A and B are shown apart, each in its own frame.
Chain A
Amino acid sequence: MGVPHLTRRAFASAAAAAAAFPRFARAEDTIKIGAVFPSTGPAAEAGKLQLNGARQALETVNEKGVLGRKLELVVEDDQTTNPGAVLAFSRLAGRPEIAAFIGPIRSTQVEAMSPDVLKVGKPMMIGGTSPTLTNQGNKWLFRCRPNDTYSAKVIAEFGVADLKKQKWALVYSTDSFGTNGMKALEAALKDKGITPVLMQGYTNQASDYTAVVLAVRQSGADILGSYFTFENDLGIFARQLRQLGVTIPWVGSPSIVNTTALNLAGRALFGTYGVADYAVDATPASKAFADRYQTLYKAIPDNQSSWTFDAVNLLARAISDAGNTEPEKIRAALAATRGFAGAEGEYNFDSKGDGLRGYNVVRNENGKIVFDRRIEVKE
């Protein structure tokens, strides 16, 4: 018993496999895109969403192929840390067959990897929104989300023009994201001739926001603008804000419409506004992306998936336009992208590598995020 013997059927399937082998060999001849996504650590869940978006784009791209070949993703785990991101990138950078990269959504990780990207000299699509990333003279970085200066301009524009409010209270995290956001919002308001009545910082992971809420209440502000980094801080603040009777309109940075924040804060966020780089109903392209995403993954997509979806499509287009996988040619083709309708909006890359300049304003209607309008910033 148990002695294997070669049946005719087993022989036939082995022969079929052997015959199929040249096809496996040909599968090696794909155009490879290296991706640095988190698959372990606190952002592991987000990493899965990023991969979903990229895979969805590959599905359509590979129906036709690029330069007669298929695109293939090579994913390395950044472990949700800066050293992890640098290590993951160096593993990818060591593979000469990789034509271009998709980098992390976290600005701090992009910052850590940026010098290595410059050394390797191949295009990298990034999702980090810190304005500094594309202002350091690294011509290989291409951003697939609008940067934070635009979110501040859109918050100011919506609050002043649409909600007709002048007395602003700004609440922000004292980390680099929050401070930069606050400065950008302050500058955007200054352009409209407004000086905020209150600028109140808080430290991340504070257990209590009573003092911050009371400062907002006493400032006499009629509108609140905020830059919160973590959803649980936002949740605690929102609840204490309502408990202490502050009901002024509130326009927040993207974390205010994040699923986790909605879940944590519940009723406390009803009626608030937020800016979001991705909204399902913003454009026909974003709607089409969401429809297919829902069929594939049985969930409503958010910005974690939309930017990687765009990144793959932009790269596919650029490689096709370049005619080969020479890095400088792909870079030139990316930089020449004009009027490309992506899920995140219309891409027009500027000389720094910023492709998008618009944000969607959404509002929280009893816990449901409803698209209000898209504001494109004109410069």
Chain B
Amino acid sequence: MSLVPQLLFTGVGIGAIYALVALGFVLLIRAASVVNFAQGEFSMLGAYAMVVLSSLLGVPYWVALPIAIVLMAGFGVLFAGATYWPLRHRGQLPVIISTIGASIFLANTVLALYGPSPEVLPGLFDTPGFEVGGVFMDSQYVAIMVTAAAMLLLQFLIFEKTLLGKKLQATSQDKEMASLLGIPVALMVLITFAYSAALGGLAGILVAPVLFVSVGMGTIISLKAFAANIIGGFGSIPGAILGGLALGIVETYGAA
């Protein structure tokens, strides 16, 4: 019986989603000192954007995917303008409250537009999965793991190997110093918001075929991502990833 590897497989799959959302979470904490309680809603909006594009407007999946990600990045900028920008000199708490407000607003807006029934979003691949050594590999979980690994690698390359990445890092470490060095801090913060929203949206799209698309999906995911952050050490990037994976695995084994 393949109980242990089967549970490990799904645990890592679901943990990868938590890690992706936790990553978006951490980046905002570091770059803008914002604990964003609407991070889960980014995932929910990303998934709904895909539902609208691919199911409603009939855009092919692989065309709809980049459009949805770009839309989410744009939304991240709007979100920053509405919740962070006006309150950025007032300290952390008002911004946190404003993200909580935004989270409630976004969830209820989607509820009003779409109703409470969950929607179905097809997976990346037509095949449900395949079996390897008695372990059933759900194709969507495989896609989640591969994408998560690719995103982590991409993020590493951007942050460590490009000038933009260095500027973003400088901003997150010390905004005052960064601005003295001529780095456009405001632009860097906006880029972080855009990236964070795109990452959250991608996580939502990836997990939608497994968990379905519903108004409540954001809350479930963000709660877990928040826990992943705490487990991995608040504000630590590798910690968020490890925390997410650990949470996914513990959750799956815990149910057994």
The interface of chain A, by Cβ under 8 A from chain B, is 42-45, 202, 205-212, 214-215, 218, 231-232, 235-236, 243-245, 260, 263-264, 266
Q: Could you say which of B11, B212, B256 contacts A232, with CB atoms under 8 Å apart?
A: B212
A-B contact pairs, 23 of them (CB 8 A): A42-B111, A42-B116, A43-B116, A44-B115, A45-B115, A207-B210, A207-B224, A208-B14, A208-B252, A210-B10, A211-B7, A212-B255, A218-B1, A232-B212, A232-B214, A236-B210, A243-B129, A243-B136, A243-B138, A244-B136, A260-B118, A263-B120, A264-B120
The answer to whether B233 has its CB under 8 Å from any CB of chain A is: no
Q: Could you say which of B7, B116, B120, B215 contacts A45, with CB atoms under 8 Å apart?
A: B116
Of the candidates B1, B11, B115, B136, the one having the most CB atoms from chain A within 10 angstroms of its own CB is B136
The answer to whether B33 has its CB under 8 Å from any CB of chain A is: no
The answer to whether B220 has its CB under 8 Å from any CB of chain A is: yes
The answer to whether B253 has its CB under 8 Å from any CB of chain A is: yes
Contacts of A42 in B (CB 8 A): 111, 116, 215
Task: Known A44-B116, A235-B212, A264-B120; judge A206-B255 contact (CB<8 A).
Answer: yes
**Residues in B99-138 with C-beta less than 8 Å from chain A:** 111, 115-118, 120, 128-129, 136, 138
A-B residue pair count with CB separations less than 8 angstroms? 71
B3 nearest in chain A by CB position = A214
Contacts of A266 in B (CB 8 A): 120
Interchain CA distance A211-B253 in the complex, whole Å:
7
Verify A45–B212 contact, CB threshold 8 A: no
Q: Mark B136-173, 1 if CB is under 8 A from A, else 0.
A: 10100000000000000000000000000000000000
B256 nearest in chain A by CB position = A211
Verify A264–B255 contact, CB threshold 8 A: no
A213 nearest in chain B by CB position = B6
Interchain CA distance A209-B255 in the complex, whole Å:
8
Least CB distance from B123 to A in Å reads 11
The answer to whether B211 has its CB under 8 Å from any CB of chain A is: yes
Least CB distance from A210 to B in Å reads 4
Verify B251–A208 contact, CB threshold 8 A: yes
Task: Known A43-B116, A210-B10; judge A205-B212 contact (CB<8 A).
Answer: no
The interface of chain B, by Cβ under 8 A from chain A, is 1, 3, 6-7, 10-11, 14, 111, 115-118, 120, 128-129, 136, 138, 207, 210-212, 214-216, 220, 224, 251-253, 255-256
Task: Known A210-B6, A212-B255, A235-B212; judge A205-B220 contact (CB<8 A).
Answer: yes
Interchain CA distance A206-B256 in the complex, whole Å:
13
Contacts of A218 in B (CB 8 A): 1, 3
Verify A208–B120 contact, CB threshold 8 A: no
Verify B118–A231 contact, CB threshold 8 A: yes
Least CB distance from B116 to A in Å reads 4
Contacts of B11 in A (CB 8 A): 208
For the A-B complex with A235-B118, A260-B118 known, give 11 more contacts whose Cβ atoms are closer than 8 Å. Answer: A44-B116, A207-B207, A208-B255, A211-B253, A212-B255, A214-B3, A214-B256, A232-B118, A232-B214, A243-B136, A263-B120
Interchain CA distance A212-B252 in the complex, whole Å:
10
B10 nearest in chain A by CB position = A210
Verify B255–A211 contact, CB threshold 8 A: yes
Give 3 closest A-B pairs by Cβ, nearest first: A211-B256, A211-B255, A42-B116
Q: Could you say which of A202, A206, A215, A243 contacts B128, with CB atoms under 8 Å apart?
A: A243
Interchain CA distance A259-B205 in the complex, whole Å:
24
Contacts of A202 in B (CB 8 A): 255
Verify B212–A264 contact, CB threshold 8 A: yes
Contacts of B118 in A (CB 8 A): 231-232, 235, 260, 264
Contacts of B3 in A (CB 8 A): 214, 218
Interchain CA distance A202-B254 in the complex, whole Å:
11
Interchain CA distance A263-B224 in the complex, whole Å:
27
Contacts of B7 in A (CB 8 A): 210-211, 214
Interchain CA distance A155-B127 in the complex, whole Å:
34
Verify A207–B211 contact, CB threshold 8 A: yes
Of the candidates A218, A245, A263, the one having the most CB atoms from chain B within 10 angstroms of its own CB is A263
Interchain CA distance A218-B6 in the complex, whole Å:
13
Verify A205–B216 contact, CB threshold 8 A: yes
Q: Could you say which of B14, B216, B253, B256 contacts A207, with CB atoms under 8 Å apart?
A: B14
Least CB distance from B55 to A in Å reads 12
Contacts of A211 in B (CB 8 A): 7, 252-253, 255-256
Verify A45–B117 contact, CB threshold 8 A: yes
